[in-house]
Structure 1
Amino acid sequence: MVSVAKRLSQVAIHMGIAYAIAYAMTGSPMFSGLAVLVEPMINVLLLPFHQAAWEKRRRKASDSRSRYVTVAAEKLSQTGLHAGVAFAVMYVATGSAAMGGIAALLEPVCNVLVLPLHDRLWDSLERGGRASLQWSGA
């Protein structure tokens, strides 16, 4: 049950960050709410194709070094996919490539900064200890 709550709160964090960025850029609560729904749906539709393509590459990796490089490249590619979707959604909404670029950079950065703190809090709660939100750099 804790695992489900943790995943739901991760989704809420993602959606909150997306909403805040969209609202800051457009000033529209209606568009921001719509963007929070549209962006994840596009990612969910594209991600299986992305994963299938990378699965083929991972199977071809022959040694541990090439598997490591392949997984690293896959993660960079997945980040690019998400940034591209964020760019496209904001570009369509505002007609501005600059706004699309800001969204494509800002959303992943915010998620990278906030989600480790979120996960640390949940890990502490799962262990039954006090939550420590110090940044460890890991």
Structure 2
Amino acid sequence: MIIAAKRLSQVATHMGIAYVVAYALTGSAIFSGLAVLVEPLINVLLLPLHQAAWVKLRRGAWWARGACLGAACEKLSQTGLHAGVAFGVMYVATGSVAIGGIAALLEPVCNVLVLPFHDRLWEGVERGMQSKGGQLIAM
């Protein structure tokens, strides 16, 4: 149960960051709410395609020689995918390349800064549950 709550909290944190960035750039609560729904949906649809492409790339001989470099490239391309979606959503909504670019930079940076604190908080909750004899149930 705790793992499901952690995942739900992680999604809420991502959506909160997306909302704050969209609101800061547009000043529209309605648009920001819609962007928070549209952006994750697009990411959810595109991420399996991204992962499938990387599965094929990992099968290549170059991966065995440079696994660390390959893993770094995979994470960079995943970051690029998310930044591209953030850019696209903001560009379509505002028609501004500048606002789309700012969103593409701000949202990933905010996630990188905020999510480690989120994860530490949940690690403390999990340790507390384990020390009290609680059971972590995966959903």
Please confirm whether the aligned pair reaches a TM-score higher than 0.5, indicating the same fold.
Answer: yes
| Structure 2 counterpart of 1:114, one-letter code | V
User: Aligned partners of 1:125 and 1:46: how far apart in 2?
Assistant: 32
User: Aligned partners of 1:58 and 1:7: how far apart in 2?
Assistant: 27
TM-score (norm 1): 0.89
Q: Which residue of 1 aligns with 2:124?
A: 124
Q: What runs of 5+ residues in structure 2 fail to find an aligned partner?
A: 130-139
In 2 relative to 1, CA 110–63 (structure 1 residues): closer, same or farther, beyond 3 Å? Answer: closer
- CA offset at residue 61 of structure 1? 3.8
- CA offset at residue 62 of structure 1? 5.6
Q: Which residue of 1 aligns with 2:4?
A: 4
TM-score (norm 2): 0.88
In 2 relative to 1, CA 63–51 (structure 1 residues): closer, same or farther, beyond 3 Å? Answer: closer
User: Aligned partners of 2:65 and 2:123: how far apart in 1?
Assistant: 31
| Number of equivalent positions | 129
State the 4+ residue runs in structure 1 displaced beyond 3 angstroms. Answer: 61-65
- 2:91 and 2:97 in contact (8 A); partners too: yes
Q: Report 1 or 2 for greater relative contact order, CA contacts < 8 Å, sequence distance ≥ 6.
A: 2
- 2:57 and 2:63 in contact (8 A); partners too: no
Q: Which residue of 1 aligns with 2:75?
A: 75
User: Aligned partners of 1:62 and 1:105: how far apart in 2?
Assistant: 30
Q: What runs of 5+ residues in structure 1 fail to find an aligned partner?
A: 130-138
Q: Percent identity?
A: 75
Q: Which residue of 1 aligns with 2:88?
A: 88
Q: Which residue of 2 aligns with 1:31?
A: 31
What is the root-mean-square deviation of aligned Cα atoms in Å?
1.4
2:102 is the alignment partner of 1:98: no
| Structure 1 counterpart of 2:75, one-letter code | K
